[in-house]
Amino acid sequence: MKGKGIGLGLLLLALSALTLRGQNEASAAVDSTLYGQSIFNVLPSVSKGGKADVRVTQTKTLQEMLSRQIASNGSRNVTCYRVRIFNDNSQTARAASEAVLASFKAAYAYPAYRSYTNPFFKVTVGDFRTKSEALQLLGMLQAEYPTAFLVKETVNYPWLGPRESYRTEDETIVRR
C-alpha cells in the first residue's frame, strides 16, 4: 500500500511540474498536437531527449477500468455555447445562409455550422465550454452581425480532435 501511495505522489508531482512549466510559457494557446495523446506518452524521458525519466507503473486492472469508463461515456452529451449569426426563414434564406457561412469562414478562424430546422436556416459559430468565452466572440461579432445571439447546443462527449467529425442533434460537423 505504501508503494502505491509513493507512485501516486510521484505521478501528481510530475503532473504539477508539467502544469507549472506550461503556465510559465508566454503563449496561452492550446497545443493541438496533444489531442488524442495519453499523459503517459508525453511524460519526459531520457530516450525522448528529456533530462530525466518519469516512470508510471499501473496495474492491468486499472488500465481496464479506465478503458471501460471511457467506453461507457462515449454516448454522453455535453452542452456547449455557440453564437448564432444567422437565423431566417424567408424564401432566400438558403442562399443567404450559405453566403453568411462562406464570408464568416473567410474572415474568422472559428468553426462555423449551417443547419436547417424547419422552417429556419441557421448559421452558428464557435464551440465554447463556458458562456464567458462565447460572450467574448459575441462582442467581437456584434458590429458585423447585429442580430447575433448566444445559443446552447448539445454535442457528443468527449470532445474530439480538430480534424475529426462528430454528430450533434440535427447535423454532422466535419472539421477540416
Q: Delimit the domains of the chain by residue range.
A: 2-72, 77-174
| DSSP element (H, E) containing 110 | none
How do residues 46-58 score in pLDDT, each as one tens digit?
Answer: 777 777 777 777 7
Q: Among candidates 152, 1, 164, 174, which has minimal Cα distance to 77?
A: 152
Domain covering 77-174: architecture: 2-Layer Sandwich (3.30)
Residue 53 to residue 45: CA distance in whole angstroms: 4
What is the grid cell recorded at 147? 442580430
How do residues 14-53 score in pLDDT, each as one tens digit?
Answer: 555 555 444 444 444 556 666 666 676 777 777 777 777 7
Q: Are 102 and 127 in contact (CB under 8 A)?
A: no
> What does pTM read for this prediction?
0.51
Predicted confidence band of residue 127 (pLDDT cuts 50, 70, 90) = confident
